[in-house]
Amino acid sequence: MIRVLIKAASSIPQAGLEALFRASPAFEVVGAGGRHGAEDFAFGDSQLGSTQLGDLQPDVVVAEIETQDEEAVRELLDWAAAGGAVVLLVDGPAGEWARELLRAGIKAVLPNRIAEAEILAAAEAAAAGLVIMHPSDLDALLPARAAAAGGVPAALAEPLTPREIEVLRLLAEGIGNKEISARMAISEHTVKFHIASIMGKMGATSRTEVVTLGIRHGLILI
């Protein structure tokens, strides 16, 4: 039986995921939301990655998160880096962000609207050590296609946040993640999170391309 820990950003998806996995004979729910035995856990607790997840020893963590929840992402990346299997359910296609998370050890980054059978299958595959991709994210995960020279850049799929613009401008200075982390007083995991989000929104597949597009969009002043 596969031991699964479940966490969602709000009570409704949390209850749905918990009911789904409890109804499956292939899974044992060892933690859900704020409950595992007599204790509570919650993303954002600094002890989650090192203590509570370690105590529970799930075979797979299934988490429905908001893409801007940097603390939750950091803790899940820490767990994945330690060898834990993580399936992330996010709001819509993840694109470039999915590629960065998969490189960091996350087993699956999937839209939260996929079918229940697909969620169960993804959790089972992740627990077995497999990496799962959604078809909507394949374009971002395949080698970049040659960009058309010149022309007006397409509108951004979603505006960059002020924090992402700050990261973008530091990228334009040619500095690495460690120095960006120091300048902004954030973790390197968070820097990677911002860079992946920027690339996804801008449709870029490299730092050079994202800086070029940033200049074209007027986000970087030269």
Quote the CA–CA distance of 218 and 209 in Å, as a whole number. 14
3-class state of residue 48 by DSSP? helix
Q: Tell me what pLDDT residue 85 has.
A: 93
**N- to C-terminal Cα distance for the chain?**
58
Topology of domain 162-216 in CATH is Arc Repressor Mutant, subunit A (1.10.10)
Quote the CA–CA distance of 65 and 22 in Å, as a whole number. 20
- The number of beta carbons lying within 10 Å of the beta carbon of residue 145 is 8
Q: Tell me what pLDDT residue 46 has.
A: 39
Q: Tell me what pLDDT residue 102 has.
A: 81
* Domain edges within the chain: 2-139, 162-216
Q: Tell me what pLDDT residue 52 has.
A: 59
Q: Tell me what pLDDT residue 151 has.
A: 47
Choices 3.40.50.2300, 3.40.50.1820, 2.30.40.10, 3.40.630.30: CATH for 2-139? 3.40.50.2300
Residues with Cβ within 8 Å of 83's Cβ and at least 6 positions away in sequence, in order, are: none
Which segments within the chain are labelled E, that is strand?
A: 2-8, 27-32, 60-64, 86-90, 108-111
Give the C-alpha distances (Å, rounded to integers) separating 13 from 30, 143, 174, 178, 204.
17, 34, 41, 35, 31
Q: What is the mean pLDDT of each run of 10 residues along the chain (222 residues)?
A: 89 90 94 51 44 75 80 82 88 69 85 90 92 69 43 66 90 90 91 89 85 83 61
